[in-house]
Amino acid sequence: MLAAGCRPTPVDPRSVLPADALVYLETRDLGEAIRAVTDDSSFHEAAATVPDLRAIDGIRLGIAVTGFETIEQPVTEENSILTFQPRFVAVAETGFYTFQVNSFVEERLGGFINETYGGGTVLETSEKHGGRYYTWTAEDGRKAYSLVLGSAIFFGNDETAIEKALAVRTGELPSMTSNPKVTSGDRLALGYVAADGIAQIATIAGVAMAKRSSEESEVQTFIARVLPELLRNSMRELTWTSVKTGGCVEDTYNIALNPEVAAIFAETLVPSGTREGAVAVPSSAESVTRYDLRDPRIAWRSVLLTAPKLTDRASGSILLAFGASTFEPYGIDDPEAFLSGIGPVIHTVKLDDAGERMLIIATVNDEAAIRKGLGEEFDFGKAPEVVGQARSWPSRDGSLLASINGSTLTVGDAEGARGMLNAARATTQKTCGGQFEASTAAAATQAQDTITAGFIADVLSTRKSENVRTYSLTETRFHRNGIDRTTTSNFGLIGTIISQFAAE
């Protein structure tokens, strides 16, 4: 009874984290959030054991990213690798006694930091800021910091971020509780990305995409400059919530857009409401996306013409000129002509992880317009290959195939298009989150994954099985304020974050 009376006053992480954080994440019960992952049957299939999470039940955790640090690591005299390190402070309210919290920090958290930094870290402790302060220094100079105040742990890789949280605690700076977008509710976790956060993440995304796009330095420079500009000028802020529903995890992303952009998309990216039966695709397909658009040609034109408004005139002209390259994997030269010849429901199939083998499946409304859209890549003057009722025309180099079977068009990767004649499954099977074809969204994607379950098992347990398959359904809707995107999957974003800690 005496010990219970000395239990420290709990701290709400939200009340001590800065309101101007670029990115904010929180869970009101860490055990419940992780258990949503470990309770899934796919985790049981992949992992040898299920971890006991009772020790973290009820722990409240908040994380604030206060900035990003760019680190350049030379590889050769001419090349280097850029990495981006978030500067953050995390606050965990454990509900434990102070001596228990100190023991956890010294043994468990210290061991994790030492392993993360490759061993050899040196720990220094002191009495500071009214609690016990810890500093870990790695052999390469990297540092991590922690402060124990009562039953709360302040932790981060940036000492100034911890000091900023302490200034919030004393009332010198406003806290995240003042942000109306950071609300409460019955959910696993929530997140918020501010406009400044979007701007900095956009810069990182631009560099990453530029490196993957081309070996040409001019192309890389263009993408690294223009993509961040497009994202900064179109997106205002983002909120994320995660809930457990129907045995799956549902992640909802609300993206606030530039009002002009949001108004255009709300008018042009409108579902037709057309209901069509399931489309059979090869069972090995990585993903299938169903677009339901009242007018596909107008929808494409609105996206194409909006992008140049978000950058300078010269860059906008280049974007317009290269917009059609989006359709190159399908062998389409004239997107507008092609889109005017097909029905409102369009399926795109990603046959491989790299996205190099793609298919489009659509209803034929105007075969002449479709042929015009496909252009010189296909020789429609030659007699088609005939298999049953299907007429097919290979591209001149044989890598692509356009096939019309009754009123259904399939165009793209030649092997995949031929495989459609003997497709092994329909798109509605084995989807976590409901019927794919029943979605009323402007865009819906069904995907499968054989990697994530194993990585999560590596982090939380020991891997028992390889290639455990999981499924997801993502629906995207456009409205006057922006975009609502919902993904229902086995593990959710929480599982994806956990998988990032896997050694591989």
On the 0-12 / 13-18 / 19+ scale of CB atoms within 10 A, 252 is middle
Angle between helices 313-322 and 217-234 (to 10 degrees): 110
- Average pLDDT, stretch 462-482? 93
For residues 413, 418, 421 and 425, what is the CA-based torsion angle, rounded to 10 degrees? -50
Distance between CA 396 and CA 198 in Å, rounded? Answer: 44
377 pLDDT higher than 80: yes
Regarding predicted confidence, which is higher, 84 or 3?
A: 84
Cα angle at 222 between 218 and 228, to 5 degrees? 155
Distance between CA 187 and CA 178 in Å, rounded? Answer: 20
pLDDT of 424 reads 45
192 pLDDT higher than 70: yes
Distance between CA 193 and CA 183 in Å, rounded? Answer: 14
Percent of the chain with pLDDT over 70: 89
- Average pLDDT, stretch 160-182? 95
Confidence of residue 82 (pLDDT cuts 50, 70, 90): low
Q: What is the 3-state secondary structure (H, E, C) of 13-55?
A: HHHHCECCCCEEEEECCHHHHHHHHHCCHHHHHHECCCCCCHH
143 pLDDT higher than 90: yes
pLDDT of 433 reads 57
242 pLDDT higher than 70: yes
pLDDT by residue (tens digit) across 15-61? 999 999 999 999 999 999 999 999 999 999 999 999 999 989 999 99
Distance between CA 273 and CA 442 in Å, rounded? Answer: 9
Angle between helices 259-268 and 296-306 (to 10 degrees): 170
472 pLDDT higher than 80: yes
- Average pLDDT, stretch 187-216? 84
H helix runs in 333-394, sequence order: 335-340, 367-374
pLDDT of 4 reads 45
pLDDT of 73 reads 61
Among 53-67, 158-172, 198-212, 452-466, which is the least confidently predicted range?
198-212
Domain boundaries of the chain, sorted by first residue: 1-97+157-260+475-504, 108-150, 261-474
Half-sphere exposure (Cβ direction) of 80: Cα atoms closer than 13 Å: 8
Question: In this structure, what DSSP letter does residue 375 have?
Answer: G
- Average pLDDT, stretch 147-165? 95
pLDDT of 425 reads 47
pLDDT of 246 reads 83
Distance between CA 400 and CA 411 in Å, rounded? Answer: 7
Tokens 């796009």 correspond to what residue?
A: 213
Distance between CA 128 and CA 151 in Å, rounded? Answer: 16
Half-sphere exposure (Cβ direction) of 315: Cα atoms closer than 13 Å: 19
299 pLDDT higher than 70: yes
pLDDT by residue (tens digit) across 103-117? 999 998 998 888 888
Confidence of residue 179 (pLDDT cuts 50, 70, 90): very high
pLDDT by residue (tens digit) across 325-336? 788 888 899 999
Tokens 């692509």 correspond to what residue?
A: 400
- Average pLDDT, stretch 123-127? 95
For residue 271, CA distances in Å to 279, 341, 468, 473 come to: 18, 18, 34, 17
pLDDT by residue (tens digit) across 397-453? 999 999 999 899 999 999 888 887 665 444 544 556 567 778 899 999 999 999 999
Q: Considering the entire predicted model, what is its pTM? A: 0.88
Task: Round the average pLDDT of the chain to a whole number and report it.
Answer: 87
Tokens 């929180």 correspond to what residue?
A: 26
pLDDT of 84 reads 75
- Average pLDDT, stretch 201-220? 74
pLDDT of 430 reads 53
